[in-house]
Amino acid sequence: MEISGLISAIAIGIVIGVLGRLALPGRQHTGVLLTIGVGILAALVGTAIAAGLGVAETSGVDWIELAIQIALAAGGVAAVERLKGR
């Protein structure tokens, strides 16, 4: 992976993490770096799932891939919240 790909993954992870966090009701007490990490992981896994389903490459915006990534990020943030609460 080149440096531009790494920077892109971090930027997309930030956006996906924030959108996933906003999708959850109420306040979350997860830190910024943890949210970014969950977002990056959700973006990578969501892309793999979308590729497996055959919806990763479409003309225009890949809405289905984006929805999968945000759902994974929301689930990841919720899981981290539950683990931190213990």
Q: Which residue has the higher pLDDT, 68 or 85?
A: 68
Average pLDDT over residues 16-34: 84
Q: Which DSSP symbol is given to 54?
A: T
Q: How far apart are CA 48 and CA 45, in angstroms?
A: 5
Q: DSSP 3-state helix, strand, coil percentages of the chain (rounded to 5)? A: 75, 0, 25
pTM of the model: 0.81
Q: Which two tokens stand for residue 28?
A: 């979350």
- CA 69 to centroid of chain Cα atoms: 5
pLDDT of residue 72: 92
Average pLDDT taken over every residue of the chain: 84
